[in-house]
Structure 1
Amino acid sequence: MSALLKEVLDAHGGLDRWRRFSSVRATIVSGGDLFAIKGIPQDPAPREMTVRLHEEHASVTPFGAPDQKTEFTADHIAIQKTDGTVVTERAQPRKSFDGHALETPWDALDRAYFNGYALWTYLTTPFLLAMPEVGVEEIQPWPEGGEEWRGLRATFPDVIASHSTVQDFYFGPDRLLRRHDYHVDIAGGFAATQYVHDIVEADGILLPARRRAYKRDDTLRANLDQVMVAIDLSDIHFT
């Protein structure tokens, strides 16, 4: 483990503390233009998100109906009744996005899959960078707001579903997360920058309560005029 990664993990609560927990629950409110582009505008109703920390599994409730929820893993997505009855499901869901462009409509399972892997990634950052199958290297720092944000580039294996294989994470002088860069492979591969705000402490773990994602140009600058994805978290509890 690099010195920078250790500093980052310590700043967010420490790897030893992280390993004591198995899951996290949070209230989530999401929105942004991406969902309208995909033909499934997101309402502002709060939902409950549950994520397992050491395996890729996530669930959100309600989803599509008051008595429905999602069940996400890297190779399977399902919409279920809260009693476990399967409403609809899809194996190997990543394959369903082959040939998609940004404007290609999503169905409910596509949306559920995106939600599952994205929130699993966000709620396990930065500790997922310490997973043995994730490659991590330091990259050039990014200057912004009078600060120098040091960067870590993560290369994810195929067994982890996420935005893209290669993603960059930037951390401020306090070593807390400031910015997350990636490509949204399942939406035509557009380049995105996500800024994070309002760092909160939950059971000794520090994480951002507000995330805003934008398109990114070739100079690594974000187009702040259009919010592609907005995520607000509250009532966060690790167990």
Structure 2
Amino acid sequence: MNNIAQSIIDAHGGIEQWRKFSKVRAYLTQRGALWALKGQDGVLEKTTVTVATDTQWASHSPFGTIAARSEFTGYRVALMDGAGQVLQERNEPRASFDGHALETPWDALQLAFFAGCAMWTYLNTPFVLAWDGVECEDVGEWMEHGEQWRKVRVHYADSLEVFSKAQAIYVDAENLVRRLDYDVQIAGNTAGAHYVSDYVTVSGIRFPTRRRIYPRMPDGHPMAEPLVVSIDLDHITLL
């Protein structure tokens, strides 16, 4: 990783500390306009999310009343019962979103894919910058909330399943992540501005516990409404 990635990762606890663990688990509360729009309101409003730190894997448990848990690996998504038996599964799940617009409803497996992809990326940021094939560069200053941030352009490796390969991270004077930008290609290339705050330190790693996602305008600034997704994390544990 380059010096930019190193400085951001160091501010969040450092790669050596991060690599002592293989999973992150947290209690998750999610709200916002997206879930009803997709016909999945309340399914994952309150659940526990677990993501791997050394491979692309995520799980939500319970998965509403539909399943005991979900399993996301990028190339496959599945819903499992309490005994670990597969209830539903889909290989190459991204292809199921072909032709989708923002308003297109999701089935349960599509929700599992979106939620797994999202939370894996969020909880592994910024440490994913150290992964092979992930590149980043400083593209200049950005003023927001009366503060001067740095905008860092990120390009994710082809091997990683993410919302879009080209994204951006904004960091403050302490090199803490304050915002993420991406285009959700599986929802009609919807542009999002994703704000993070309320950091806590867990086992030497700094995590934001509050996330708020708004539509992003062409000039890079967010719209005040609607609140697309809200995410609150509690009881974060490194395993």
Band of TM-score, shorter chain = over 0.9
Report which stretch shifted further, 97-106 or 153-162. 153-162
**2:107 alignment partner in structure 1:** 107
- TM-score, length basis structure 1: 0.96
**1:37 alignment partner in structure 2:** 37
**2:4 alignment partner in structure 1:** 4
Asked whether the equivalents of residues 184 and 190 of structure 1 are also in contact (C-alpha less than 8 Å), the reply is: yes
- Paired residues in the alignment total 239
Classify 1:57/1:20 alpha carbon distance in 2 versus 1 (closer, same or farther; 3 Å). same
**2:149 alignment partner in structure 1:** 149
**1:196 alignment partner in structure 2:** 196
| CA RMSD in angstroms, aligned pairs only | 1.3
Paired residue type of 1:12: H
Classify 1:90/1:43 alpha carbon distance in 2 versus 1 (closer, same or farther; 3 Å). closer
TM-fit CA distance, 1:151: 1.9
TM-fit CA distance, 1:147: 1.7
TM-fit CA distance, 1:68: 1.4
**1:120 alignment partner in structure 2:** 120
- Alpha-carbon separation, structure 1, partners of 2:138 and 2:60: 33
Structure 2 unaligned blocks of 5 or more: none
Instruction: Please give the secondary structure, in 1, of the residue aligned with 2:19.
Output: helix
- Alpha-carbon separation, structure 2, partners of 1:69 and 1:99: 28
Paired residue type of 2:218: D
Asked whether the equivalents of residues 71 and 79 of structure 1 are also in contact (C-alpha less than 8 Å), the reply is: yes
Structure 1 unaligned blocks of 5 or more: none
Classify 1:146/1:45 alpha carbon distance in 2 versus 1 (closer, same or farther; 3 Å). closer
**2:83 alignment partner in structure 1:** 83
TM-fit CA distance, 1:41: 1.1
Asked whether the equivalents of residues 32 and 42 of structure 1 are also in contact (C-alpha less than 8 Å), the reply is: no
1:113-133: CA deviation from partner (whole Å, max 9, x where unpaired):
001010000000000011112
1:83-108: CA deviation from partner (whole Å, max 9, x where unpaired):
11111000000000011011111000
Asked whether the equivalents of residues 74 and 159 of structure 1 are also in contact (C-alpha less than 8 Å), the reply is: no
TM-fit CA distance, 1:156: 1.4
Report which stretch shifted further, 61-70 or 83-92. 61-70
Instruction: Please give the secondary structure, in 2, of the residue aligned with 1:197.
Output: strand
TM-fit CA distance, 1:36: 1.2
Say whether 1:28 aligns with 2:28.
yes
TM-fit CA distance, 1:59: 0.6
**1:184 alignment partner in structure 2:** 184
Runs (4+) of structure 1 exceeding 3 A deviation are none
- Alpha-carbon separation, structure 2, partners of 1:72 and 1:66: 16
Paired residue type of 1:193: A
TM-fit CA distance, 1:165: 0.9
TM-fit CA distance, 1:66: 7.4
**1:134 alignment partner in structure 2:** 134
Say whether 1:175 aligns with 2:175.
yes
TM-fit CA distance, 1:142: 1.2
TM-fit CA distance, 1:34: 1.0
Classify 1:44/1:133 alpha carbon distance in 2 versus 1 (closer, same or farther; 3 Å). closer
Paired residue type of 1:30: Q
Instruction: Please give the secondary structure, in 2, of the residue aligned with 1:56.
Output: coil
Classify 1:78/1:152 alpha carbon distance in 2 versus 1 (closer, same or farther; 3 Å). same
